[in-house]
Amino acid sequence: MKPLLLLLTLLFCTATLPLAAQVPVPQEAQLRAYLGNRDIDETELRQRLAARGIQVDNLTPEQALRLRPQVEAVIAEMEAEKAQATKSAEQAAAKATEKKQEAQEGALPVAEAITIDTTETANEVLPESDIYGHQVFRNKSLKVYRTTDNATPPDSYPLKPGDEIAVTIFGASQSDFILRLDDQGFVQLDNGLRMPLGGIPIGEARTLLANRLRQFYTFRNGQLSIRIQAARTISVNIFGEVENNGSFSMSSLNTGFNALVAAGGPTDRGTVRNIQLIQGDKKVILDVYDYLRSPTEGTALFLNNNATIFVPLAKTIVTLEGGVQRPLRYELKAGETLADLLTFAGGLKPRAEAGDIRITRYVRGQLELLNVNFTEIPNFVLFDEDIVNVPIIENPIENFVTIEGAVLLPGRYPFGQGVTLGELLAQGRLRPGARTDVAFLFRSNDDGTNRLIRLDVGAAVVTERSRNAGAEKVELQRGDRLQVLASSAFTDAATFTVSGAIRDSSVTLPFPQDGALTVAEAVLLAGGTEANAEPEVMLIRTPLTNREERKYERLDLRTDGDFVLQALDRIIVYARERFSDLATVSISGAVRNGGTYTYDPSLTIRDLLYLAGGTRIDAAPDRVEVFRLQITAGVETKTLLTTIDLNAGVPFELQAYDEVVVRSAAEFEAIQNVVIQGEVRYPGRYALLKNNERLSDLIERAGGVTSAAAAAAATLYRGEKGIGYVVLDLDKVLEDPADPANMVILGGDTLYVPKRNELVTIYTTGTLADRFGRDSTTIDGTLQVAYQGDRRADWYVDNYAGGFAENARQRWTTVEYASGRVKETEHFLLTERFPRLAPGASIRVGLKPVKPQREERKEPIDWGGIAQATLAGVTSFVTIFLLLDRN
């Protein structure tokens, strides 16, 4: 029986009967049922006992009996927690608040600690380092975790007060909640039960929580997620040879290596092999090289609050150059040798010469060069600032031969003693068309010079049928390069071209090497000639000996088809249309579709009218004019005019280049419409009944204006020539039709008579309307007021807009009437006469121009001269005013 169950056996027996010896010992299943009935988790009970120093796995029966009272106390405590879940939750919350206040009261002032923001230091751009291990901290290979980072620490991460655990249940009992470790290391479940998780690794805590949650929730394996939601914040002190010394606040998820990233890592003289991590009375040495070889070891080294990291100076740094995988500077610890250095560098390269490693060393103020045979002295001791150079064997002569050119398998082939030319050709396999009469072998001599050897490879080609005892026996040397020539490289690749009236439009084809190509064959290769092709073609010849020269020759396909062509010849087949002028006739005027048509003697004037869609309704059939060009050799051309009456039925014969114009009937004009809208008795579309119909006529035909009409605000829109809106004085026209404002209306005009608008609009810019703020009467910078009769603009500004502003130019005040007419303020010597308003008018106040700022005058001001000039100006002004007053 397990030790814990043995302990519970004693408890079970004494709790049920007075004398345990008189009853049989309970079975393991009974004991587990006993725990289940009392809602006691075996694993949790074990943890609580361990927290009190009771290790049940090592207990003897006598010790178990002696510890029975303490076990009963733990079980009673767990039962009490369950019975008073709600009350204990409130008490725990109150107690946590009280302790937090006490901690705040007893905390040290902020000024006593140097705190550095890890976010800023982690984002700091640091210079690169050529010392191996430093870039781990400078290139941000490691991350500084924040407290709120939703990270996934390893199972070895120890839980402590301040950590938050996120629990998500996906099973039948779906739930999602956060558990936070309080100051005693307990977490409190939703039902009020508390569990001790402080100091327990997160991996074991998942098992404990899962067992406890199964008592209250229903879920299967894989339907429970327990992870770190937010880690506690700790303070880490980092000093020594680091980029940023100080105290850093960071997440407890960070290890010693992560914390060094926040400090920028060690400086170029700081060690990466002997970093000291001090946590209480425990000191651990951090070695970046060990971490790079096995990163999982460093991740388990978590930090406690107020941990200290000290980075001393590096003692031995050597420089490694030459034939190694990572030529850098390396830090060595005491006892490490040349063999360790090469291991850190990833080992030697294949061509490295390990038997002659050269070491440059300062000895008593002088440089000395040492040669070390690594194979004999692998444990050679190195000193600080040593420069280790591993030579690389340079071998320009490589162990292969090359074949290039007209072969199927060009490239390099292994060289072996006794390899012959024939064997190389057999491996490269000559292409069809390869020249066998000559090839070139490029060979490098030992003294650096080159040789060019001409070979006849015809006898060197190795076949299964025969092997000649000639050139195929030529032995090759290491580095030889054979160039096999192609016959096509010595042939002029020429073409010929056929274009023009052929079915393929234009083709350029390779010219046959035997030269056996005729004109007829070239045309057939181009798809043959089109039906409109002329039998005569043009041959343009370009000699191969002079590409800029041209020779021309006309050939007849009917008789010269067997003419032999040459390379680069060009044949042009022309269409018949190229050699004739296109004769046309045209028709325009009162026809539906005028245009230009190809002339033929069979085309009559009635046919031409039919092609043009016939005459329009406005056509004058008795007034068809035909303009004809008279062309006489040696005489100036003339244009003749003939007028035709289509109704007369007299035939007329057209000629090439005739221009026919069908005139419109005299004074023919389609119905012209105008539109009148708004306040008239019968608005709508009206046709003009006579020429020069005027506004008054249109108003009369529309029944006159209504009683609500604002005739003074009427507008007319004319789309002809893009004129647009026309300013009217319709009120004057209605009073007196003889008024010049009674303008002639044209087809397409639109007359609009609006309703009478009894409002006046005042634009508030340049007024004092906004002096006391805007209200609902001021909209979009305007003020609408009722028309107050025949008053001037300044009266409206003074009474409704608060008067003119200081930057207002009153003489620039304008009034725009509803009809679109604009009237400006009249300016006299000392006064302005503002325009009178009408219903629907709007007032705009001008502003004084902004004066440019002038630089301060540094020279003294002549106040006497200014006063004299001012007096003269005033005198002149008064004189002019008196003269005007007399007049």
What pTM was estimated for this model as a whole?
0.40
- Say how far apart CA 133 and CA 306 lie, in whole Å: 26
Q: Give which of 665, 640, 736 is closest to 696, Cα–Cα.
A: 736
Residue labelled with tokens 């035939």:
651
SS3 category, 91: helix
Residue labelled with tokens 């010049």:
740
SS3 category, 730: helix
- Say how far apart CA 257 and CA 270 lie, in whole Å: 14
The DSSP secondary-structure symbol of 425 reads: H
- Say how far apart CA 219 and CA 209 lie, in whole Å: 13
User: Which fold would CATH assign to domain 114-148+232-314?
Assistant: Outer membrane lipoprotein wza fold like (3.10.560)
For helices 42-51 and 68-83, the axis angle rounded to 10 degrees is 120
- Residue 537 has a pLDDT of 95
The architecture CATH gives domain 316-390: Roll (3.10)
Query: In sequence order, which ranges of 582-639 are alpha helices (DSSP H)?
Result: 605-611
CATH number of 495-579: 3.10.560.10
Neighbours of 726 (CB within 10 A): 14
- Say how far apart CA 179 and CA 75 lie, in whole Å: 23
CATH number of 400-490: 3.10.560.10
SS3 category, 498: strand
Residues constituting the chain: 887
Taking each continuous run of H as one helix and of E as one strand, the counts in the chain are 20, 44
| CA-to-CA dists, residue 85 to 190, 617, 659, angstroms | 9, 105, 112
Type of residue found at 709: A
Domains 114-148+232-314 and 316-390 agree in fold: yes
* DSSP per residue, 521-553: HHHHHTT-B-TTEEEEEEEEE--TT-TT--EEE
598-648 pLDDT, tens digit each: 999 999 999 999 999 999 999 999 999 999 998 888 888 899 999 999 888
CATH number of 584-664: 3.10.560.10
The architecture CATH gives domain 759-847: Roll (3.10)
Q: What residues does 718 pair with on adjacent strands?
A: 724
- Say how far apart CA 382 and CA 318 lie, in whole Å: 8
CATH number of 673-753: 3.10.560.10
Residues of the chain with pLDDT under 50: 1, 14-26, 85-86, 88-89, 92-93, 96-97, 99-100, 102-117, 119-120, 122, 462-470, 874-887
Q: Which 3-state string (H, E, C) describes 25-82?
A: CCCHHHHHHHHHHCCCCHHHHHHHHHHCCCCHHHCCHHHHHHCHHHHHHHHHHHHHHH
- Say how far apart CA 594 and CA 609 lie, in whole Å: 9
- Say how far apart CA 507 and CA 500 lie, in whole Å: 10
* DSSP per residue, 141-180: -S----TT------TTPBP-TT-EEEEEE-SSS-EEEEEE
- Say how far apart CA 335 and CA 322 lie, in whole Å: 24
- Say how far apart CA 379 and CA 259 lie, in whole Å: 35
- Residue 339 has a pLDDT of 93
Residue labelled with tokens 């990833």:
346
Listed by start position, the domains of the chain span 3-83, 114-148+232-314, 316-390, 400-490, 495-579, 584-664, 673-753, 759-847
Say how far residue 811 (Cα) sits from the centre of its chain.
57
781 in the Ramachandran plot: left (φ > 0), alpha (ψ -120 to 50) or beta?
left
- Residue 390 has a pLDDT of 94
